[in-house]
């Protein structure tokens, strides 16, 4: 059985003496595991194809048994996003984003295609521009929430409908945002800066992030809140140890 597919490397693990198993994500097939032979040997030509974020057109083959792995027969590089790895902060942000897509693949396919597109836009920005990588992560987390039906509504109180201008509270039990009178459950205050940050970044396209300046403290606070919201809504953990 043979197939050609465009996919990105989510991660890879060592296999046998010189091989690696790649976990690829493609729009058509979701996650595919594929063996890349001999890639850990000295001077292996296909090393770049085993690195995270490597986007390529893959030629895959597998035997007829249902539990056979695909094996990589060939690959045409589309983009290795190679510069991301030269900056530890950017690299960490990109790893977090790839991990989130990997975790989301247990859910619906249509949702994942939206997240996949957001991931590619994010990686391009982080690799080719001087954008604040954390701001891209902020946008990405908001897109992940929205794609899964948990978009954060910061215009009006979810209960009484009053316009939220200064103080608002995010309820971690259901992801709703309410005013100070209606706040309930396990909720956290969204201070004015955080509220504005969520609102602005939600409305902004990826292309505008490059020229957007944002207060570092506010951005960190926003990221921590979004992280917790994604974790609770999606039921998986995100490791922020390296970045906030």
Chain residues 105-124 in contact with Zn ion, contact rule CB under 5 A: none
- Shortest reach from residue 218's CB to Zn ion, in Å: 23
- Shortest reach from residue 146's CB to Zn ion, in Å: 22
Stretch that binds Zn ion, among 64-72, 137-145, 175-183, 194-202 (CB under 5 A): 175-183
Kindly tell me which of 108 and 181 has the beta carbon lying closer to Zn ion. 181
- In the 8-state DSSP scheme, what is residue 69? P
Let me know if 27 is exposed, middle or buried by CB neighbors in 10 A (0-12, 13-18, 19+).
middle
Residue/partner pairs of 172-181 with CB below 8 Å, 24 or more apart: 172/228, 172/229, 172/232, 175/145, 175/150, 175/229, 175/232, 175/233, 177/152, 177/153
What are 73's two structure tokens? 């027969």
Kindly tell me which of 22 and 157 has the beta carbon lying closer to Zn ion. 157
- Candidate residues 182, 190, 234, 238; the one interacting with Zn ion per rule CB under 5 A: 182
- Contact between 179 and Zn ion by CB under 5 A: the answer reads yes
Kindly tell me which of 22 and 164 has the beta carbon lying closer to Zn ion. 164
Chain residues 155-174 in contact with Zn ion, contact rule CB under 5 A: 157, 159-160
- Shortest reach from residue 160's CB to Zn ion, in Å: 3
- Shortest reach from residue 76's CB to Zn ion, in Å: 54
Q: How far apart are CA 229 and CA 235, in angstroms?
A: 10
What are 43's two structure tokens? 């001077």
- Shortest reach from residue 224's CB to Zn ion, in Å: 24
- Shortest reach from residue 141's CB to Zn ion, in Å: 25
Kindly tell me which of 121 and 183 has the beta carbon lying closer to Zn ion. 183
Count of Cβ atoms closer than 10 Å to residue 96 Cβ: 21
Stretch that binds Zn ion, among 64-72, 96-104, 153-161, 207-215 (CB under 5 A): 153-161
Kindly tell me which of 77 and 160 has the beta carbon lying closer to Zn ion. 160
- Shortest reach from residue 191's CB to Zn ion, in Å: 17
Report helix angle 133-147 to 88-104, nearest 10. Answer: 10
> Which residue shows structure tokens 């207060």?
215
Kindly tell me which of 88 and 160 has the beta carbon lying closer to Zn ion. 160
Kindly tell me which of 36 and 179 has the beta carbon lying closer to Zn ion. 179
CB 22 within 8 A of CB 34: yes
Q: How far apart are CA 134 and CA 158, in angstroms?
A: 28
CB 69 within 8 A of CB 17: no
- Contact between 154 and Zn ion by CB under 5 A: the answer reads no
Shortest CA distance to 52 belongs to which of 19, 85, 97, 10?
10
What are 156's two structure tokens? 């009006």
Binding site for Zn ion (CB under 5 A): 157, 159-160, 179, 182
């Amino acid at each position: 059985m043979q197939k050609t597919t465009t996919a990105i490397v989510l991660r890879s693990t060592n296999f046998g003496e010189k091989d690696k198993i790649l976990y690829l994500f493609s729009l058509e097939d979701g996650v595919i595991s594929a063996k890349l032979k001999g890639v850990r040997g000295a001077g292996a030509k296909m090393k770049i194809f085993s690195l995270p974020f490597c986007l390529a057109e893959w030629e895959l083959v597998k035997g007829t048994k249902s539990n056979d792995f695909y094996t990589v027969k060939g690959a045409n590089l589309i983009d290795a996003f190679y510069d991301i790895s030269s900056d530890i902060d950017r690299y960490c942000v990109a790893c977090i984003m790839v991990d989130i897509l990997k975790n989301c693949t247990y859910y619906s396919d249509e949702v994942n295609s939206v997240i996949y597109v957001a991931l590619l836009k994010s990686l391009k920005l982080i690799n080719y521009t001087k954008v604040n990588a954390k701001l891209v992560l902020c946008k990405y987390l908001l897109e992940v929430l929205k794609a899964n039906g948990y978009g954060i509504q910061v215009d009006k109180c979810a209960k009484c409908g009053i316009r939220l201008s200064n103080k608002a509270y995010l309820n971690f039990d259901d992801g709703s945002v309410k005013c100070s009178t209606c706040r309930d459950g396990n909720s956290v205050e969204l201070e004015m800066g955080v509220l504005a940050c969520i609102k602005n970044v939600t409305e902004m396209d990826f292309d505008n992030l490059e020229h957007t300046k944002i207060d570092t403290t506010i951005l960190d606070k926003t990221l921590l809140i979004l992280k917790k919201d994604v974790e609770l809504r999606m039921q998986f953990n995100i490791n922020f140890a390296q970045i906030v």
